[in-house]
Structure 1
């Protein structure tokens, strides 16, 4: 085994890999994150690194990243993971590996045809007038909001309470179940209010809109006096913004060239949404989609690799 590098200076190509120990990259429960991680993992393998993929919970993974049991997480979304990332970075045991180029939106979404029966949308204040439109037998007379898996966070129950919405949050068990139900409702032109995010194939394929809640601010999540409800926090929409990679701090010294390559990773929402569609809609294996992207975008990913 090669000795680990003792400097965070960029490694020369001849020095890579600096260690034969595997770089453990986390895999979560949505297709896009698996694609992002396997693309970057393939690049690292091309550089000579040993890569291991480890299934991990999106928010709970930070304990493993801080201890060094896990090494790299490719997608922390500002929309749902900002607080957890900020707290982790403050420990000094993890490092920010930079933005991935993708821009995150995760919000309540409805098909555009729903506005025929609820014309006040996308204003959030129209939701209570239309709650029964979205009701299910289990939630009636309250509306049903189909949220993402519980592990994704998102504060939807808190949002419902703070804004006084006549809705119940029902969490999908998996990413696949969430979008299968959305697709089924869309094909039958049935009302549905659900968690939709981008980058993803759904906003590309389906004509719809995100609900416009009071604009997110940090104070909304921390200060009850901010926003329309003076007694509650989370009386606003979700944050929108970056998607970042994060790593175990010890990796800076152990695999400096790998960390530099990860910082150079960059992909667009459009490219990622199309790849997710190939997996979720066309049934292509993730490995095939990754190989196809790597073959067709050789100049792009090779530009991430540090030069001498």
Structure 2
């Protein structure tokens, strides 16, 4: 009887040890799995054609690193608010110095992480058939020919204020008409089809310079500076996703490549993800450098 009792107790003790060991192993496995899981990275996307190529390239590479990546569509002002709150992790298309006001406003929460490409020209644009208009100051006295209208992008963009300041600074009797990038271009195209006077906001990289004969007007007063396009991240990214932050710190892409991708997407109707993947496949040396390989 004692032998049976001792045998039963030994069996019970063995089962308890195995059970505890299994529970410990499962717990350790769960903890390990949890630590291996990577956070979701959210990319801010403005309604500009220039934002799409770098965003898609970055998304593919981040997903290859094991991250789940989401995109949030918003105007520029809302993207920076999202960055400051931590709702958005990365913005691939920040235009400096125009966007410097946002960097200053949210300096405690966001960081200028990398230069995507420098020397991006921007300013007021007219078609080349307007031979007598080569400087912004040339418009003064001709405002009636433009129906006193200057076409710009969405009101949430910081350049909207710059354009209003330029109108005032040059003493032009004009009103800025704001809409989406597509809406602005539609207005300009209608005018250009009939070779009517038209002035609007333009920048590189953009297909407008591939599709139309345009010139950026000289700005003697310095309202429109040459821009450099930067990558902005919220300050939590470096801690939460250090390898992703390191990759984005090394980010760089030629402006000509961005413009070529825009043409393929906007003019040739190619899928943005396929265009981005083609760029990655054909520029592995640049990719490896950004990934620190």
Q: 2:185 aligns with which of 179, 188, 196?
A: 179
| Distance change >3 Å, CA 185–CA 296, structure 1 → 2 | farther
Higher helix proportion: 2
| Distance change >3 Å, CA 183–CA 102, structure 1 → 2 | farther
Q: Cα offset for 1:79?
A: 4.6
Contact 1:106 1:197 in 2 (8 A): yes
| Distance change >3 Å, CA 204–CA 270, structure 1 → 2 | farther
Q: 1:77 aligns with which of 95, 98, 109?
A: 95
Aligned: 1:149 with 2:154: yes
| Distance change >3 Å, CA 79–CA 127, structure 1 → 2 | farther
Length-normalised TM-score, structure 2: 0.81
| Distance change >3 Å, CA 175–CA 68, structure 1 → 2 | same
Alpha-carbon distance between aligned partners in 2 of 1:262 and 1:35, rounded to the nearest angstrom:
15
Alpha-carbon distance between aligned partners in 2 of 1:196 and 1:19, rounded to the nearest angstrom:
43
Q: Cα offset for 1:19?
A: 4.7
Q: What do you get for the CA RMSD once the two structures are aligned? A: 2.0
1:28 equivalent in structure 2: 46
1:140 equivalent in structure 2: none
Contact 2:84 2:234 in 1 (8 A): yes
Contact 1:110 1:192 in 2 (8 A): yes
Q: 1:302 aligns with which of 271, 288, 292?
A: 288
Q: Which has the larger radius of gyration?
A: 2
Gaps of 5+ in 2: 1-32
Q: Cα offset for 1:188?
A: 3.5
Q: Cα offset for 1:130?
A: 1.9
Alpha-carbon distance between aligned partners in 1 of 2:37 and 2:239, rounded to the nearest angstrom:
10
Q: Cα offset for 1:214?
A: 2.8
Q: Cα offset for 1:37?
A: 0.9
Q: Size of the alignment, in residue pairs?
A: 259
Alpha-carbon distance between aligned partners in 2 of 1:269 and 1:181, rounded to the nearest angstrom:
26
Q: Deviations over 1:199-232 (max 9, x none)?
A: 112224432221222343xxxxxxxxxxxxxxxx
1:55 equivalent in structure 2: 73
Indicate the larger mover: 154-163 or 33-42: 154-163
Aligned: 1:284 with 2:254: no
Q: Cα offset for 1:76?
A: 0.9
SS in 1 for 2:137: helix
| Distance change >3 Å, CA 188–CA 2, structure 1 → 2 | farther
Alpha-carbon distance between aligned partners in 2 of 1:45 and 1:267, rounded to the nearest angstrom:
19
Q: 1:208 aligns with which of 214, 222, 225?
A: 214
Gaps of 5+ in 1: 4-17, 136-142, 217-236
Alpha-carbon distance between aligned partners in 1 of 2:249 and 2:240, rounded to the nearest angstrom:
15
Alpha-carbon distance between aligned partners in 2 of 1:19 and 1:103, rounded to the nearest angstrom:
39
1:191 equivalent in structure 2: 197
| Distance change >3 Å, CA 39–CA 102, structure 1 → 2 | farther
Aligned: 1:265 with 2:259: no
Alpha-carbon distance between aligned partners in 2 of 1:28 and 1:245, rounded to the nearest angstrom:
13
Contact 1:80 1:152 in 2 (8 A): no
